[in-house]
Amino acid sequence: MRMKAMILDAQGQPLRLAEVPRPKPEADQVLLEVRACGVCRTDLHVMDGDLQHPSLPLVLGHEIVGVVVEKGARVERFMLGQRLGVPWLGHTCGHCRYCASGSENLCDAAEFTGYTLNGGYAEFALADQRYCFALPNGYPDAEAAPLLCAGLIGYRSLVAAGDARRLGIYGFGAAAHIIAQVARWQGREIFAFTKPGDVDGQQFARQLGATWAGDADSAPPQEMDAAILFAPVGDLVPQALRHIVKGGTVVCAGIHMSNIPEFPYAILWGERCVRSIANLTRRDGEEFFAIAPKAGVRTEVTRFPLESANAALQQLRAGEIRGAAVLITS
């Protein structure tokens, strides 16, 4: 049996629509009929070569929503016909110092969906049962897809920001528009920063509860307790440091960022902290999928047919997507 898939043959090239053999699940795998797959900026980093050594030829996509149509001999967690979500983290070794300490996101032998493992830009996708999530009811397929990366990475970033009551968010895209809703539900005050002149993005942030929204190169009306950088722009690190309180944290949430420029120690002094977010853990997923419905999280999505994956990626690159882009396969 065969299926349609969008294939990355080489970095720096557009995806190619092809018919390829439908995969067969191994003992611990499920085969999903893909209903929706989110389009993430990480996919652009893989395409552009910012993330090196992908498993080519490759099917991108790590925000997969699908239904189990076949399962391996050892799969007991899930049933045929059950709807699942597949995230970026696709496999870990299970026994290294990081896995043993609950930090499986740092495993040196980790495998990643849509990077070292084939992903969801296809009609069917394989996934290890141990790294899948049963999705909460109340989210249609397309609206559920962004929760699997934008939501999970956003949630891990929010946790890393600690109990900051006044939170800055730089880059108001897929992750920001989800996690801002959680932060507001928690009673936090949000200052949203967008590309200079992005009036629509700033209005979107206000609609989701931001107290203030403005250009990324402007000063907020008050000092912030912490800031999360979803925009992969190194220049924003010193910019954010200048506007957080002593003891505050700047969280760099992306998997890739342009170089951070030299900055004076004075803006770091005062026990300010800069830290990164790397991948996610299964515990992040369990916690976030329990919180999202309680917080009333809703995603705003722009739908594209599978065959239009290149167009979706280009619109994402150009900053033309409000919320998240999602490929629909059926």
The Cα 149–Cα 16 span in angstroms is 24
Q: What is the mean pLDDT of each run of 10 residues along the chain (330 residues)?
A: 97 97 97 98 96 97 98 96 97 96 97 98 98 95 97 97 97 94 97 94 95 97 97 97 98 95 97 97 96 96 98 95 92
Q: What is the pLDDT of residue 139?
A: 96
> What per-residue confidence (pLDDT) applies to 227?
98
Q: Which fold is adopted by the domain 2-148+280-328? A: Quinone Oxidoreductase; Chain A, domain 1 (3.90.180)
pLDDT at 239: 97
**Hey, where are the domains in the chain?**
2-148+280-328, 152-276
DSSP summary character for residue 25: -
DSSP 8-state class, residue 113:
B
End-to-end CA distance of the chain: 17
Q: Amino acid letter at 224?
A: M
Which two tokens mark 10? 């080489």
pLDDT of residue 152: 97
The token pair that represents 6 in the structure block: 């969008």
Tokens of 292: 């999202």
**Assigned CATH for 152-276:** 3.40.50.720
Do 210 and 191 touch, CB atoms closer than 8 A? yes
Q: What is the pLDDT of residue 125?
A: 98
Q: In this structure, are residues 240 and 227 in contact, taking their beta carbons and an 8 Å threshold? A: yes
> Would you list the DSSP string of 36-92?
EEEE-HHHHHHHHTSS----SSEE----EEEEEEEE-TT--SS-TT-EEEE-SEEE-
3-state secondary structure of 203: helix
Q: What is the pLDDT of residue 302?
A: 97
